[in-house]
Amino acid sequence: MDENSSDQNGSDHNSSQKYDYDLFVIGTGPGGEGAAMQCAKDGLSVAVAEKYSRIGGGCTHWGTIPSKALRYAITSTMAALKNPTFREMGINVRPTLEQLRRGTQTIIGQQVTMRQSFYDRNNVPIFKGQARFVSENAVSIDGDEPITAKKFVIATGSRPYRPAGVDFSHPRIFDSDTILGMNEKPASMCIYGAGVIGVEYASMFRNLGIKVNLINTRSKLLEFLDDEIIDAISYHLRDQGVVIRHNESMEKIVPEDDGVVLHLKSGKRVKTDAFLWANGRSGNTDDLGLEHVGIVPNSRGQIEVDEHFQSAVHHIYAVGDVIGVPSLASAAYTQGRAAGMHILGKVDGNLRLYDIPTGIYTSPEISSVGKTERELTAACVPYEVGQAQFKSLARAQITGQTTGMLKLLFHRDTLQVLGVHCFGANASEIVHIGQSVMSPEGANNCITYFTETTFNYPTMAEAYRVAALNGLNRLF
């Protein structure tokens, strides 16, 4: 057992001291749930705190679930309305945002009910209210009698960064938490910030027929992606009619009765019906009483942790968006489980935290795992590229979703798969096939798996065979 996870840890006081719980988790999003369930199933006494009326965190109520549910409603509805058969039948309706959003609350309710059952089945009590540290081994819920625990996991998530001087109470100005409550569909929208959230909403609202201005503070969209994928999403957004402005920064935002005017430092001015601020997030750490335990968040309100997700105070762990990148619900859950395993003394939990795939729910989707061409070139790794264009796949032709491609990067000598990059319909699902082949070390990771395996036909998965053959044909 690692000494940091045992009673030898200097932050753990007298081992004979009695605590109310072995583990207390603050936050019931994916990270908190992962840690709580991992430890509860291994016999520890666990309790959690949730400040909101329903469990599930930002992922369930303001972020991943409602935004992806709305995205699906928009894409499926608009695809149906563009169907020539519907047009021929004279069906020409314009759904409202409220109608498109209607199914979201049902999905959220299903998620909450399911997640509540996890806590009930594993005898994990949920304390409702704001948990604040009053000492290194005790928290108080809304000022009530302190609850003590041997270990803690902070999984309080993040919120949109709100700069001073921007009036978020104005009915035309939104952030990513409030945009889903927008009632009227605007004719035009300006999105400031072209990270994952900004690009996803730009794609979503353009699909609704809204004129979109996407303001990027950097020189490229989504710089962490492979360059070819960046070029593809940039072209596709522009082809759909999104106006993208790179290397811009805000001077001021002026709300008016009939719109919002964004003044840029370059001298440009952009006026639209609605404005979405999507530039940066802050960790939810300002009301946790961290000053009582000696943990100091960084300038973004995030808690710095080590490879085991331990904070500077080793019996207090932190996982999920509150620690910063990658800020993905999927990663938060895995991080929570990894912290739980370390708490249990299982230091090597074999959780593959280094190959977390990206999933960007634009239309079409983007997903990738592993290295980019840019990274491999910088590291002087001799690699080759295999590609499959979706327009050449029978399944894509049948469904009409022919935009996109699968790109495999592999070592030209060992044939190990080094990176998988996908742009197109169902990319976030397709990428996992490549991820599985990348997982083993050594000879078991080989691009010839795709050429020697029979894929169902017609499927999108056969893109792997096409891309692998394409890449192997480049070798000499």
Higher pLDDT, 86 or 16: 86
Instruction: Please report which confidence band the pLDDT of residue 423 belongs to, taking 50, 70 and 90 as the band edges.
Output: very high
Topology of the domain covering 3-60+103-160+282-343: FAD/NAD(P)-binding domain (3.50.50)
Burial of 400 (0-12, 13-18, 19+ CB in 10 A): exposed
Average pLDDT, the chain: 92
pLDDT tens digits for range 123-165: 999 999 999 999 999 999 999 999 999 999 999 999 999 999 8
Is the pLDDT assigned to residue 92 strictly greater than 50? yes
Burial of 92 (0-12, 13-18, 19+ CB in 10 A): exposed
Q: d(Cα 141, Cα 476) in Å, to the nearest integer?
A: 66
Other Cβ atoms within 10 Å of 452 Cβ, number: 9
Q: d(Cα 68, Cα 200) in Å, to the nearest integer?
A: 10
Characterize the bridge pairing of strands 147-154 and 417-424.
unpaired
Residue found by looking up tokens 């109310």 in the block? 20
Is the pLDDT assigned to residue 8 strictly greater than 60? no
- Known binding residue 200? Answer is yes
Q: d(Cα 316, Cα 152) in Å, to the nearest integer?
A: 5
Predicted model pTM: 0.90
Cβ-based neighbours of 215, under 8 Å, separated by 6 or more? 190, 191, 192, 193, 194, 245, 248, 250, 262, 264, 270
128: β partners: 50
Residue 469 in contact with residue 457, Cβ under 8 Å? no
- With a pLDDT cut of 70, the percent of the chain lying above it is 95
Token pair for 432: 């996992």
Report, as an integer, the average pLDDT of 292-319. 95
- Known binding residue 157? Answer is yes
Token pair for 186: 């605007």
- Known binding residue 199? Answer is yes
Report, as an integer, the average pLDDT of 287-301. 96
pLDDT at 16: 42
Q: d(Cα 236, Cα 242) in Å, to the nearest integer?
A: 9
- Known binding residue 31? Answer is no
Q: d(Cα 378, Cα 259) in Å, to the nearest integer?
A: 46
pLDDT at 10: 37
Look at the alpha carbons of 35, 36, 37, 39 in this order and tell me if their dihedral is positive or negative: positive
Cβ-based neighbours of 37, under 8 Å, separated by 6 or more? 118, 122, 124, 337, 340
Burial of 168 (0-12, 13-18, 19+ CB in 10 A): middle
- Pick from 159, 69, 53: which is nearest to 116 by CA? 53
Report, as an integer, the average pLDDT of 332-354. 85
pLDDT at 7: 41
Q: d(Cα 2, Cα 77) in Å, to the nearest integer?
A: 53
Is the pLDDT assigned to residue 3 strictly greater than 50? no
- Known binding residue 210? Answer is no
- Known binding residue 195? Answer is yes
Token pair for 241: 């009619």
CATH number for the region 364-472 comes to: 3.30.390.30
Same topology for domains 3-60+103-160+282-343 and 173-279, yes or no? yes
Consecutive H or E run containing 290: none
Residue 333 in contact with residue 56, Cβ under 8 Å? no
Is the pLDDT assigned to residue 1 strictly greater than 90? no
Token pair for 25: 């988790």
Token pair for 127: 């304390």
Residue found by looking up tokens 């044939």 in the block? 415
Report, as an integer, the average pLDDT of 352-358. 83
Q: d(Cα 25, Cα 153) in Å, to the nearest integer?
A: 5
| CA dihedral of residues 76, 82, 88, 93 (deg, nearest 10) | 70
- Known binding residue 153? Answer is no
pLDDT tens digits for range 239-288: 999 999 999 999 999 999 999 999 999 999 999 999 999 999 999 999 99
Consecutive H or E run containing 271: strand 269-272
Higher pLDDT, 219 or 1: 219
Helix (H, G, I), strand (E, B) or coil at 424: strand
Residue 214 in contact with residue 201, Cβ under 8 Å? no
Instruction: Please report which confidence band the pLDDT of residue 448 belongs to, taking 50, 70 and 90 as the band edges.
Output: very high
- Known binding residue 198? Answer is yes
CATH 3.30.1380.10 fits 173-279, yes or no: no
Give the sheet arrangement for strand 211-215, strand by strand.
173-175, 274-277, 188-192, 211-215, 243-245
Report, as an integer, the average pLDDT of 436-440. 89
- Known binding residue 402? Answer is no
| CA neighbours closer than 13 Å in the CB half-sphere of residue 433 | 23
Report, as an integer, the average pLDDT of 279-303. 96
Residue 349 in contact with residue 342, Cβ under 8 Å? yes
Q: Please tell me whether the peptide bond between 458 and the residue prior to it is cis, using omega within 30 degrees of 0.
A: yes
Q: d(Cα 239, Cα 396) in Å, to the nearest integer?
A: 20
Question: DSSP readout, 361-415?
Answer: -SSSEEEEEE--HHHHHHTT--EEEEEEEGGG-HHHHHHT---EEEEEEEETTT-
| CA neighbours closer than 13 Å in the CB half-sphere of residue 110 | 8
Residue 155 in contact with residue 25, Cβ under 8 Å? yes
Q: Give me the residue spans of the domains in the chain.
A: 3-60+103-160+282-343, 173-279, 364-472
Residue 237: φ, ψ to 5°: -65, -45
Determine the residue type at 86: F
pLDDT tens digits for range 428-437: 999 999 999 9
Residue 376 in contact with residue 346, Cβ under 8 Å? no
Instruction: Please report which confidence band the pLDDT of residue 350 belongs to, taking 50, 70 and 90 as the band edges.
Output: low
pLDDT tens digits for range 193-243: 999 999 999 999 999 999 999 999 999 999 999 999 999 999 999 999 999
- Known binding residue 156? Answer is yes
